[in-house]
Amino acid sequence: RDGMDGGDRARARQHVFLLPEYFKDASKKMKSGLMFVKLVNPCSGEGTIYLFNMCLQQLFEIKVFKEKHHSWFINQSVQSGGLLHFATPIDPLFLLLHYLRKADKEGKFQPLDQVVVDDMFPNCILLLKLPELEKLLQHVTEEKNPEIDKKKYYKYSKEKTIKWLEKKVNQIVAALKTNNVNVSARVQATAFFSGDQASSDKEEDYICYAHGLVSDYIPRELSDDLCKYLKLPEPSASLPNPPSKKVKLSDEPVEAKEDYTKFNRKDWKTEKNGQGERNDQVALCW
């Protein structure tokens, strides 16, 4: 950005983000309060862009609202595409599971700083700065605390993890019911039921739908194990893909095809260029 002249800045691609209101104070409390980071996607294993709140030590995933033929008017420019990015909180334990399961192949207890190591995504060390980390790890690991040193040693526990994921499913089911979300039609449109096979158990519909949401954050193998543990029906391979939704809120993560980290700034307030016109790289919607 610093090497751009006024015209280049005006033509630079801009993005619109919808963030929690309390983010406004992040840059005031820390110089680098908000930071885009490339981390491993716990489902696909690919690089995905996340937003890290350095001040509050929270991790957020980026979801995208998509509709055709939409544009944004930002200051004095028009940004084609009309994408709206949402920053939503994500449980960091889903990302830690990727490293715990990988380290479990060695079959031994290890300190966390030796488990969460990644040459491709070195920012993974930010996960170790999150609050109540040891409390979170109790849900998915066995741990040892040898007397010879003060370090704790961890080992992935599949049994604990499945039970933790079951709790996640139950929490989603409760939230769906509280908000009166009808999921029967959505479940039948996916691979769980054919068009002429109506679900006789509405509770199962909720569990199937919640399992599908949780599966977006875990690898396929773990999703299949959870499916068996919940005693859900096997997906039907003969069913066609469900029709596209009218509202395009993408279930896909924001892959690391574009360098969002260039938007990391010491100050997220708006700036003025040399001609006195406001020109933001990122338009924040509060």
Q: pLDDT tens digits, residue range 182-215? A: 887 666 555 444 444 444 448 888 999 999 999 9
The stretch 93-100 carries a mean pLDDT of 96
Calpha distance 80→13 (Å, rounded): 9
Q: What is the CATH number of domain 158-233?
A: 1.10.20.120
Residue 180 has pLDDT above 70, yes or no: yes
Give the pLDDT score at 25.
65
Q: Which residue has the tokens 């999150």?
A: 130
Per-residue confidence (pLDDT) for residue 94, from 0 to 100? 96
Res. 279: pLDDT tops 50: no
Neighbours of 124 (CB within 10 A): 21
Residues 164, 171: Cα–Cα separation, whole Å:
11
Residue 222: both structure tokens together: 């773990």
210: its two tokens: 């919640």
Residue type, 117: V
Alpha-carbon gap, residue 144 to 193, rounded angstroms:
45
> What percent of the chain is modeled with pLDDT above 70?
66
Domain residue ranges in the chain: 1-90+247-286, 158-233
Measured between alpha carbons, how far is 59 from 76 in angstroms, rounded to an integer?
A: 32
Determine the Cα–Cα distance for residues 59 and 37; give it in Å rounded to an integer: 10
Contact (CB, 8 A) for 262 and 76: no
Q: How confident is the model at residue 68 (pLDDT cuts 50, 70, 90)?
A: confident
Bridge partner list, 86: 18, 63
**What span, in angstroms and rounded, lies between the C-alpha atoms of 208 and 117?**
34
- The pLDDT mean for the chain works out to 75
Mean predicted confidence (pLDDT) in 34-56: 88
Rounded mean pLDDT of 244-255?
49
Neighbour-count burial for 7-27, b at 16+ CB within 10 Å, e otherwise? eebbeeebbbbebeeebeebb
Burial of residue 254, with CB atoms counted within 10 A of its CB: 0-12 exposed, 13-18 middle, 19 or more buried:
buried
Q: Does the domain at residues 1-90+247-286 carry the CATH identifier 2.60.40.1260?
A: no
Instruction: Show the tokens assigned to 112.
Output: 């966390």
Fold matches, 1-90+247-286 and 158-233 = no
Cut 0.85: pTM above it: no
Share of the chain above pLDDT 90, in %: 36
